[in-house]
């Protein structure tokens, strides 16, 4: 046993798969120790905030100390941040469409462009081919140009609670900086927020955990059913065997996902917890384990040690557990690994169809996919709400498949090249 274990870890494929899987598993276990936010807590008002560090504006305005940094190009970066190349291009298009000669527009010259824009732009003018969305865009753009080139300091004022008059409480110059670490309120969104304004990373870690549990539960249910049916069918034989083989063959052909859909739909949204879904997936996917176990048992049934055990008067249960199970244990483990990965995929597919676990309690990878898709995150290019989920699913299945291949090579030396 020890030898086999050592050999398993010497298989490169198994090792890579194992490392990836353990990394995912450890992240799921350790992350909540550091980030204690509820995974489904809604933090942002807006949806799909992009990944980044969010710094409290009020705090940074009032932050003391404030530092003065003289950085080259700060002004032009400030301009570029508000007036990007796309915007300049769009302004040129508008101006040309209005009749301004193209050679008189230099989009690299910010001041000249803004001057030209301010003298020509008319929000009420409808140019041919311009949609409402385009018009709104130009109006927004014009508003953002306001004070773009200003070099004066900004004055911070607060309303006097008694008189209601504005009183100056501070001046912010363009060279003022605060240290993000000293601002009491800032928040890092590694993967932004989702359509509900939840932190995607926290939700993803929790969803990965739930999906893994679904995988394990479904895998164990399927493997247990498959193992029992396979053992009984292979060892006892006769009519029992015929019946089990018949049923197994039936469900090899009849697509199991159809059963999954029918059952999940029939259970109804309210009854569908993550655990229920896991059990349903497990109950519909034992076929391959049964086949594999039965084939092994049939080949073991007449081995000498089994016959000896029979002659010694051991019970069927004893023989199955002591004389047959050890020989098929490796197959069962491999089948379990495959079941886990296919169960995680099945949950995702079901959830996308709207038949996954009910949404209010726990996140799952499938539910994250579902909401991302419903809110069009993929079409609107909010990659952080959907790609990390796909990546995690792919990594889980990839690592499990690699471990499985590695095990296969250890247990079936004929496959080694």
Partner 1 sequence: MKGYRDYFLRKLGWFAITVVVAFILNFTLPRLMPGDPVAAIVARMAQGMSNATGVQAVYEQYTELFATDRPIPEQFFIYIRNVLNGDFGYSISQYPRTVGEVINASVWWTIALQFPAIIVGWILGNTLGAMAAYLRKGFDRVLLPVSLFLSNIPPFGMAVILLVIFAVNLKWLPTSGGYRFDMVPNSSWEFVWSVIVHYQLPFWSIVLITIGGQAIGMRSMAIYELNADYVKYARFLGIKDSKIIRYVFRNAMLPQITGLALSIGTMVFGAVVAEIIFNYPGIGSTMLTAVLGGDYPLISAATLIITFMVLIAFFALEIIYGLIDPRIKAAQSE
Instruction: Point out which residues bind partner 1 (CB under 8 A).
Output: 249-250, 252-259, 261-263, 265-268, 270-271, 342, 345, 348-349, 352-355, 369, 373, 378-381, 383, 386-387, 390, 393-394, 397-398, 401, 417
Q: Which alpha helices (DSSP H) does 66-122 contain, by range?
A: 74-82, 85-98, 110-120
Q: What is the dihedral of CA 379, 384, 385, 388, to 10 degrees?
A: 110
Angle at 101 between CA 98 and CA 106, to 5 degrees: 105
Backbone angles phi, psi at 188, to 5 degrees: -95, 125
Nearer to partner 1 among residue 257 and residue 275 (C-beta): 257
Q: Which is nearer to partner 1, 163 or 266 (CB)?
A: 266
Assess whether the previous peptide bond of 200 is cis (omega < 30° from 0).
no
- Report the nearest approach of partner 1 to the CB of residue 266 (Å): 4
Q: Which is nearer to partner 1, 331 or 382 (CB)?
A: 382
Supply the minimum distance, in Å, between the C-beta of residue 252 and partner 1: 7
Closer of 76 and 271 to partner 1 (Cβ): 271
| Choice between 89 and 144, CB closer to partner 1 | 89
The C-alpha atoms of residue 79 and residue 140 are separated, in whole angstroms, by 16
Contact 215, 340 (CB under 8 A): yes
- Written as six digits, the tokens of 123 are 């929000």
Q: Rounded to the nearest whole angstrom, what is the least distance from the CB of residue 265 to partner 1 in the complex?
A: 5
Q: How far apart are CA 281 and CA 266, in angstroms?
A: 14
Give the nearest distance from C-beta 256 to partner 1 in angstroms. Answer: 7
Query: Whole-number minimum distance, CB 83 to partner 1, in Å?
Result: 23
Please give the biggest Cα pair distance in the chain.
Answer: 104
CB 271, min distance to partner 1, A: 6
Residue 263 or 367: which CB sits closer to partner 1? Answer: 263
> Within 10 Å of residue 387's Cβ, how many Cβ atoms?
14
- Say how far residue 281 (Cα) sits from the centre of its chain: 21
3-state secondary structure of 290: helix
Shortest approach of partner 1 to residue 383 CB, angstroms?
Answer: 7
Q: How far is the CB of 267 from partner 1 (least distance, A)?
A: 6
| DSSP-derived secondary structure letter, 136 | H
Helical H segments across 353-377, by residue range: 365-374
Cβ of residue 357: shortest distance to partner 1, in angstroms? 14
CA distance 339 to 221: 10
Q: Is 258 helix (H, G, I), strand (E, B) or coil?
A: helix
Angle of helix 387-411 versus helix 365-374 axis, rounded to 10: 150
Token pair, residue 358, equals 């009910």
329 or 415: whose CB is closer to partner 1? 415
Contact 304, 237 (CB under 8 A): no
Nearer to partner 1, 32 or 349 (CB): 349
- Report the 10 Å Cβ neighbour count for 280: 22
Q: With respect to partner 1, which residue has the nearer C-beta, 171 or 258?
A: 258
Q: Produce one character per residue of 187-213: b if its CB has 16 or more CB atoms within 10 Å, e if not.
A: eebebbbbbbebbbbbbbbbbbbbbbb
Beta carbon nearer to partner 1, 183 or 385: 385
The least distance separating partner 1 from the CB of residue 361, rounded to whole angstroms, comes to 18
């Amino acid at each position: 046993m020890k030898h086999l274990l050592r050999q398993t870890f010497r298989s490169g494929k198994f090792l890579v798969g194992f490392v990836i899987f353990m990394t995912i598993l450890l992240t799921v276990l350790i992350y909540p120790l550091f980030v204690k936010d509820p995974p489904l807590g809604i933090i942002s008002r807006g949806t799909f905030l992009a990944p980044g560090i969010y710094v409290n504006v009020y705090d940074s305005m009032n932050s003391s100390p404030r530092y003065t940094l003289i950085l080259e190009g700060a002004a032009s970066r400030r301009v570029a941040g508000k007036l990007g190349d796309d915007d300049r291009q769009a302004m040129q298009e508008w101006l040309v469409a209005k009749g301004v000669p193209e050679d008189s527009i230099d989009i690299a010259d910010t001041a000249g462009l803004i001057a030209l824009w301010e003298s020509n732009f008319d929000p009420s003018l409808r140019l041919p081919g311009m949609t409402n969305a385009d018009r709104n865009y130009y109006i927004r753009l014009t508003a953002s140009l306001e004070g773009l080139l200003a070099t004066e300091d900004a004055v911070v004022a607060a309303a006097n609670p008694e008189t209601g008059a504005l009183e100056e409480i501070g001046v912010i110059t363009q060279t003022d900086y605060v240290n993000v670490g000293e601002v009491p309120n800032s928040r890092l969104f590694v993967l932004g927020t989702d359509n509900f304004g939840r932190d995607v990373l926290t939700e993803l870690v929790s969803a990965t955990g739930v999906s893994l549990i679904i995988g394990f539960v479904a895998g164990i249910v399927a493997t247990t059913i498959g193992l029992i049916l396979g053992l009984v069918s292979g060892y006892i034989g006769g009519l029992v065997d015929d019946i089990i083989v018949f049923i197994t063959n039936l469900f090899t052909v009849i697509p199991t996902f159809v059963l999954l859909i029918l059952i999940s739909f029939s259970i109804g949204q309210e009854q569908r917890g993550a655990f229920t879904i896991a059990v349903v997936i497990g109950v519909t996917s034992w076929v391959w384990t049964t086949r594999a176990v039965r084939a092994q048992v049939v080949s073991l049934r007449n081995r000498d040690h089994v016959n000896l055990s029979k002659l010694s008067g051991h019970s069927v249960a004893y023989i199955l557990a002591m004389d047959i199970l050890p020989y098929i244990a490796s197959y069962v483990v491999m089948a379990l690994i495959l079941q886990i990965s296919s169960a995680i995929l099945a949950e995702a597919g079901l959830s996308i169809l709207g038949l996954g676990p009910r949404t209010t309690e726990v996140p799952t990878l499938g539910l994250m996919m579902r909401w991302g898709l419903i809110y069009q995150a993929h079409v609107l290019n909010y990659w952080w709400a959907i790609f990390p989920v796909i990546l995690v699913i792919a990594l889980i299945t990839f690592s499990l498949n690699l471990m499985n291949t590695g095990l296969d090579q250890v247990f079936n030396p004929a496959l080694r090249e």
